[in-house]
């Protein structure tokens, strides 16, 4: 059973206004959704293969940068030494 206050003249008026707004604005809403959907990538890009050694060096460089921001010169120097060791170790492999 529908409550009586839902069938009042004021409720019906608001319902009619809402229905008219939906009917008039429907095409604008559909166009906005279509335009937004065009922006969404259809296929996620595949990650490029990364050499694990380069990823490790990147990690050390990020750490060195964080230490530099904290004014930890000794830590930055140790990171530099580690990068030097990693670079010389790679030369021996090739």
Per-residue pLDDT of 13-71, as tens digits, reads: 888 999 998 888 888 888 988 888 888 777 776 666 677 888 889 999 999 999 999 99
- How much is the pLDDT for 9? 84
Residue keyed to tokens 């060791």: 85
**In a domain? residue 79:** yes
- How much is the pLDDT for 1? 52
Residue 53 phi, psi (nearest 5)? -65, -40
**In a domain? residue 9:** yes
Please state the domain count of the chain: 2
Closest residue by Cα to residue 61 from 47, 75, 50, 49 = 75
Structural domain that includes position 13: 4-39
- How much is the pLDDT for 51? 78
- How much is the pLDDT for 90? 63
Burial class (CB in 10 A: 0-12, 13-18, 19+), 26: exposed
**In a domain? residue 30:** yes
Same domain? 88 vs 57: yes
- How much is the pLDDT for 85? 93
Measured between alpha carbons, how far is 93 from 52 in angstroms, rounded to an integer? 14
**In a domain? residue 35:** yes
């Amino acid at each position: 059973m529908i409550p009586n206050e839902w069938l009042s003249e004021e409720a019906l008026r608001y319902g009619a206004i809402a229905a008219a707004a939906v009917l008039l604005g429907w095409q604008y809403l559909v166009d906005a959704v279509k335009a937004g959907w065009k922006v969404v990538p259809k296929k996620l890009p595949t990650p490029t293969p990364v050499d694990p050694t380069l990823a490790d060096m990147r990690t050390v460089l990020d750490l060195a940068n964080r230490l530099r921001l904290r004014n930890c010169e000794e830590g930055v120097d140790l990171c530099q030494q580690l990068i030097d060791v990693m670079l010389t170790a790679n030369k021996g492999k090739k």
